[in-house]
Amino acid sequence: MFHEVGGGGGGGGGGGGGGGVTDLTVRQGANQSAEEGASWLYTFIIGVVGLFVDLPPTMTSSIDESSKEKMRSVSVDLNHDASLLIDIPDALCERDKVKFTVHTKTTLSSFQKPEFSVPRQHEDFIWLHDTLVETEDYAGLIIPPAPPKPDFESPREKMHKLGEGEATMTKDEYTKMKQELEAEYLAVFKKTVQVHEVFLQRLSSHPTLSKDRNFQIFLEYDQDLSVRRKNAKEMFGGFFKNMVKSADEVLISGIKEVDDFFEQEKTFLLDYYSKIKDSTAKAEKMTRAHKNIADDYIHVSATLNSLSADDSTANKKHLEKLADLFEKLRKVEGRVASDQELKLTELLRYYMRDIQAAKDLLYRRARALADYENSNKALDKARLKSKDIPQAEEHQQHCLQKFDKLSESGKKELTSFKGRRVVAFRKNLIEMAELEIKHAKNNVTLLQGCIDQLKNN
Amino acid sequence: MADTARDPPPAHTDFQELEDGEDLFLEPAVIQESGPASLPAEDISANSNGPKQDSLFDDDPEDLFAEATEEVSLDSPEREVLLSDGPSPAITPITPPTSVITPRIGLAHDDMFTHSSFDEIEEEEGGDSFDMHISVSDPEKVGDGMNAYMAYKVTTKTSMSLFKTDEFSVKRRFSDFLGLHSKLASKYLHIGYIVPPAPEKSIVGMTKVKVGKEDQSSNEFVEKRRSALERYLMRTVKHPILLKDPDVLQFLESSELPRAVSTQALSSAGLLRMVNKAADAVNKMTIKMNESDAWFEEKQQHFENLDVQLRKLHASVESLVCHRKELSVNTAQFAKSAAMLGNSEDHTALSRALSQLAEVEEKIDQLHQDQANADFYLFSELLGDYVRLITAVKGVFDHRMKTWQKWQDSQLLLQKKREAEAKLQFTNKPDKLQQAKDEIKELEGKVQQGERDFEQISKTIRKEVSRFEKERVKDFKMIIIKYLESLVQTQQQLIKYWDAFLPEAKAIS
């Protein structure tokens, strides 16, 4: 069930306690009514797959169970293994912070209970991701990309502008714009929940990573994860690490690759990454333009309503029908925008991050190769000097093993990555095309209906 | 400036200013003396300098017959004679189809005698017999540099007997249109006729064209102007009175037109116009009219509201046009990006699908571009036109106020003169007394005239507003339907494109 727990804001909240939790304060214009001045509090409870999702009348965007499934489709075939099922059924938005309720159902004995939930913050996910990245053993794996920070900047800015422009609009118009805005908040919210959920599900469906100790702690530990605040040293370390990594990139791109497979992959991934990054940005712009058009339709509809109210001729009915039509059209347009965003923009964005993760794997392997080559040089030097030969030999063996291990697992990972990518693209492109057709057909019906009514009158 | 325009245009010296319906109607007795000539009835209106002769010819023949109380044959002397009076130079006699002529003529004469039937005729206009289509096309740049201008071909297609042929065209430039409007405004606005406003000047737009930039924005500007000129002419000729105006007919038919120089913004005439406009605005604020007729008050309020709402709607639609253009551009950019992504993709089937996606998006961006044009040329320009038209309507109401004011002023003056005369009676100044008496006589005439003018303009405005509102409803309905149909087309095309893409996406293995 989706429901909004309002402090009176947003056109009448639903049930549920709104009491002691700190509130999401949204910057509004000066003309706040006392009611709207009360902060908003959203509680979105997202059902697991198969649960019917219901929206309160104030929420204009509709999520039905199939589109919930679709939201997950950036990575297909997750969360089907009954031995470890993870989902985020519940999330709370407090100011800038989102609190996720991570719910686990498992048949594995490594866990204390068969079913349990814990609250987690975004920073906890980042901690988990970083610890996995830093784990040597996983150097040969593609670590699922960390979920991005929840970003409510865009709807917040829009809210601010709406507040400023309130005086120029009719009450009806303002209400509709606010509804649109709420829908946008909701969409951002859903996206962030989805992306955090997928991260966990990627981990749970990976044969190696699902067994990670830190992962288990993340799922199970029912206290606050104190490490979620990286202490200054670690943060600093993190910063330097990134710096070194970029230097590595340059260094490593120059390294002679011994394996054709990896050579190809490297070329492909580097190029693909820049292209997909560009496509993501362009897709985002497209979506935004659609949203703007939907907003324009709101204004057109509202003004037509005013015109109709003033009109006493036969025109009145025409204007009413027209106003109604534009109101319906804008809803469709809004859905076109959000579907395009989910199917296309989010898909591209996700795989952009995933490709970055794949690139990271390549870099780790390349570093291992560099280490191996250095160890070879060291061994030769040792042999020359006849000093510390056994250590050098051991070191060289160690490096070779590491490199081989990385290459082997890397190859597997990259191959399955490609498969995963193709499947996800296919699913999303098909769904996007189907949705576009559905919405266009809807539009035709609405328009044709109005045209017929106008002609017959 | 309104005052000078009250004088009849020089060409029509034989017809006096129409002060009273009856006056014109008495004239046929005089006219009958002239010799016969074979001529079309339309020239009657051509010779009329005013409101009386008008929509009669637009009516459904059946209805006209029903109204006719006096049958007049094709060779009616009245008709012929009317024609021979000071016709406009541009119009030469033509032989109209008889079926069109007879009923109209009959009615013309009868109904000239009665205001009521005149009104009925106007109301019966279903517009079915208004068969005229004007198109403005083929913009051509004439000349070079700053003296260059765009010449437009104005083609009229009509079966109306008002014209010599069914189809004819002339070349006109923008200032010709402005000149036409200026003449019509000076003739008709002050007596209460809603004269459609001409398209606006644009110094920036024209300069670009003059300078010779053959780019997207100057092409768009020319197209925008061409479309606006076409709509302007169509609106003008849809007005039954204006259609018959000799200036309009000359504009449409005559191959040579005297250059309208007073339309230039920076000319002395232009400056005079600006000064007058300012004076008007001041006067408007100072006139306090006792509105005895609630109808006018109601209508004025109605038009005020309409003005506000239409402007708002216009602004929203302009924003829509802008965003749709943005969508088109963004889609095109995405298409390119998707194409590059497809090239980069190493999985063959996915690569092909991505390339197909790029192609689809490219077609869609063109679709959005076309839709943006429809948004603009159909919806946005319609609203823009009506915003300007309503300004003209408001102007007509203002003229009524001025007419009232004039009437009141003469009344006051008469009052004063009468008082003065009364005083003079007790003095021994026979000359002055006589002068006073003469002045009073003159002023009495003026006051009567003022009252008649006021009543006339009020009556005309009522008819005009009713016609305007009908026309507005029709106009909106027709154009909105066209616009919605354009939206339908876009959506249907979208369905086609995505339907074609779907198998490609499914083919990814």
Q: Two tokens at B358? A: 């790029």
Please check whether residue A294 is in contact with residue A333, taking contact to mean a CB–CB distance below 8 angstroms: yes
Of A300, A307, A429, the CB nearest to B357: A429
A44: phi then psi, degrees, rounded to nearest 5: -110, 125
Q: Name the maximum alpha-carbon separation found in chain B.
A: 119
Binary contact (A441, B340; C-beta < 8 A): no
Q: Two tokens at A388? A: 């510390």
Q: What is the pLDDT of residue A97?
A: 81
How many angstroms separate the CA atoms of A227 and B493, rounded?
55
Q: Two tokens at B209? A: 């064209």
With a cut of 90, say whether residue B334 has pLDDT above it: yes
With a cut of 50, say whether residue B102 has pLDDT above it: no
Terminal-residue alpha carbon distance, chain A: 43
The one-letter code for the residue type at B107 is L
Binary contact (B323, A292; C-beta < 8 A): yes
Find, among A47, A48, A77, A44, the residue nearest to A58 by Cα: A44
Contact list in B for residue A448 (CB cut-off 8 A) is 488
Binary contact (B469, A313; C-beta < 8 A): yes
Binary contact (A425, B353; C-beta < 8 A): yes
Please calculate the CA angle A413-A272-A290 and round it to the nearest 5 degrees.
Answer: 115
Binary contact (B337, A278; C-beta < 8 A): yes
Of B312, B317, B488, the CB nearest to A444: B488
Please check whether residue A84 is in contact with residue A104, taking contact to mean a CB–CB distance below 8 angstroms: yes
Whether B469 has its CB under 8 Å from any CB of chain A: the answer is yes
Nearest Cα of chain A lies from the Cα of B367 at a distance, in angstroms, of 13
Binary contact (A285, B357; C-beta < 8 A): no
Find, among A91, A60, A63, the residue nearest to A195 by Cα: A91
Q: What is the pLDDT of residue B4?
A: 41
Find, among B214, B220, B204, B233, the residue nearest to B141 by Cα: B214
CA-based nearest residue in chain A for residue B489? A444
Binary contact (A429, B505; C-beta < 8 A): yes
Of A318, A433, A447, the CB nearest to B498: A433
Whether A161 has its CB under 8 Å from any CB of chain B: the answer is no
Alpha helices in B61-202 (DSSP H): 61-67, 77-84, 98-112, 115-124, 174-188
Other CB atoms within 10 A of residue B318 CB: 17
Looking at chain B from residue 319 to 378, which residues have their Cβ under 8 Å from any Cβ of chain A? 319-320, 323-324, 326-327, 330-331, 333-334, 337-338, 340-341, 344-347, 349-350, 353-354, 357
How many angstroms separate the CA atoms of A206 and B30, rounded?
108
A212: phi then psi, degrees, rounded to nearest 5: -60, 135
CA-based nearest residue in chain A for residue B493? A440
Contact list in A for residue B495 (CB cut-off 8 A) is 437, 440-441, 444
Helix (H/G/I), strand (E/B), else coil: B103: helix
Q: Which of B310, B337, B368, B482 is best to mutate for the A interface (most A CBs within 10 A)?
A: B337
Binary contact (A451, B481; C-beta < 8 A): yes
How many angstroms separate the CA atoms of B382 and B426, rounded?
67
For residue A120, the cross-strand partners are A100
Looking at chain A from residue 277 to 306, which residues have their Cβ under 8 Å from any Cβ of chain B? 278-279, 282-283, 285-286, 288-290, 292-293, 296-297, 299-300, 303-304, 306
Of A264, A279, A300, the CB nearest to B337: A279
Q: What is the pLDDT of residue B355?
A: 94
Higher model confidence: residue B7 or residue A433? A433
Q: What is the pLDDT of residue A60?
A: 26
Long-range contacts from B6-12, C-beta under 8 angstroms, 24+ separation = B6/B190, B6/B191, B8/B49, B8/B50, B9/B49, B9/B187, B9/B246, B11/B86, B11/B87, B11/B88, B11/B89, B11/B246, B12/B47, B12/B48, B12/B49, B12/B85, B12/B86
Binary contact (B488, A455; C-beta < 8 A): no
How many angstroms separate the CA atoms of B417 and B483, rounded?
62
Binary contact (B323, A440; C-beta < 8 A): no
Please check whether residue B18 is in contact with residue B51, taking contact to mean a CB–CB distance below 8 angstroms: yes
With a cut of 90, say whether residue B492 has pLDDT above it: yes
Give the tens place of pLDDT for each residue, B81-99. Answer: 333 333 333 333 333 344 3
Please check whether residue A214 is in contact with residue A128, taking contact to mean a CB–CB distance below 8 angstroms: yes
Looking at chain A from residue 419 to 438, which residues have their Cβ under 8 Å from any Cβ of chain B? 421-422, 425-426, 429-430, 433-434, 436-437
A10: phi then psi, degrees, rounded to nearest 5: 70, 30
Instruction: Report the percent of chain B where pLDDT is more than 90.
Output: 33
The one-letter code for the residue type at A205 is S
Of A279, A306, A448, the CB nearest to B341: A279
Banded pLDDT at B210 (limits 50, 70, 90)? confident
Contact list in A for residue B498 (CB cut-off 8 A) is 433, 436-437, 440
Whether B39 has its CB under 8 Å from any CB of chain A: the answer is no
With a cut of 50, say whether residue B49 has pLDDT above it: no
Q: Which of A73, A303, A420 is best to mutate for the B interface (most B CBs within 10 A)?
A: A303
Q: What is the pLDDT of residue B87?
A: 38
Helix (H/G/I), strand (E/B), else coil: A287: helix
Between the CA of residue B224 and those of B206, B237, B373, what are the distances in Å? 12, 20, 10
Find, among A424, A416, A378, A427, the residue nearest to A398 by Cα: A378
Whether A276 has its CB under 8 Å from any CB of chain B: the answer is yes
How many angstroms separate the CA atoms of A220 and A112, rounded?
8
- Packing angle between helix A260-310 and helix A389-456, nearest 10 degrees? 30
Q: In 3-state terms, chain A is what percent helix, strand and coil (to 5)?
A: 65, 10, 25
How many angstroms separate the CA atoms of A103 and A114, rounded?
11
Please check whether residue A190 is in contact with residue A42, taking contact to mean a CB–CB distance below 8 angstroms: no
With a cut of 90, say whether residue B37 has pLDDT above it: no
CA-based nearest residue in chain B for residue A281? B334
Half-sphere exposure of B24 (CA within 13 A, CB side): 25
Residue A85: its H or E element: strand A84-94
Whether B301 has its CB under 8 Å from any CB of chain A: the answer is no
Whether B316 has its CB under 8 Å from any CB of chain A: the answer is yes
Long-range contacts from B262-269, C-beta under 8 angstroms, 24+ separation = B262/B179, B262/B182, B263/B175, B263/B178, B263/B179, B263/B182, B264/B175, B265/B201, B265/B203
Nearest Cα of chain A lies from the Cα of B145 at a distance, in angstroms, of 40
Q: What is the pLDDT of residue A264?
A: 87
Q: Two tokens at B350? A: 């996915």
DSSP single-letter state for residue A21? S
The one-letter code for the residue type at B474 is K
For residue B171, the cross-strand partners are B153
How many angstroms separate the CA atoms of A424 and A420, rounded?
6
How many angstroms separate the CA atoms of B6 and B79, rounded?
26
Q: Two tokens at A415? A: 């191959």
How many angstroms separate the CA atoms of B398 and B403, rounded?
9
Between the CA of residue A416 and those of A86, A203, A410, what are the distances in Å? 22, 15, 10
Nearest Cα of chain A lies from the Cα of B312 at a distance, in angstroms, of 7
> Cα-Cα-Cα-Cα dihedral of B46, B47, B51, B56, to 10°?
-50
How many angstroms separate the CA atoms of B395 and B388, rounded?
11
Q: Two tokens at B98? A: 């008889």
Q: What is the pLDDT of residue A446?
A: 94
With a cut of 60, say whether residue B339 has pLDDT above it: yes
Q: What is the strand order of the sheet B132-142 is part of?
A: B132-142, B149-158, B167-173
Q: Two tokens at A280? A: 């993501």
**Residue range B246-274: mean pLDDT, rounded:** 76
With a cut of 50, say whether residue B62 has pLDDT above it: no
Find, among A322, A43, A293, A306, the residue nearest to A189 by Cα: A43
Q: What is the pLDDT along chain A (457 residues), one digit of tens a residue?
A: 333 333 333 333 333 333 332 233 222 223 333 333 222 323 333 322 222 222 232 322 233 444 444 444 566 667 777 788 999 988 888 777 888 999 999 988 888 889 999 999 998 999 999 999 888 888 889 999 999 988 888 888 888 888 888 888 888 888 888 888 888 888 888 889 989 999 999 999 888 998 999 999 899 888 777 654 454 335 545 555 565 566 656 655 666 777 888 888 888 998 999 999 999 999 999 999 999 999 999 999 999 998 988 887 777 888 899 999 999 999 999 999 989 988 899 999 999 999 999 998 988 888 888 888 888 888 888 888 888 888 888 888 999 999 999 899 999 999 999 999 999 999 999 999 999 999 999 999 999 999 998 888 7
With a cut of 50, say whether residue B208 has pLDDT above it: yes
Residue A116: its H or E element: strand A115-121
Is the torsion defined by CA of A349, A350, A352, A353 positive or negative?
Answer: positive
Nearest Cα of chain A lies from the Cα of B327 at a distance, in angstroms, of 5
Of B323, B354, B502, the CB nearest to A289: B323
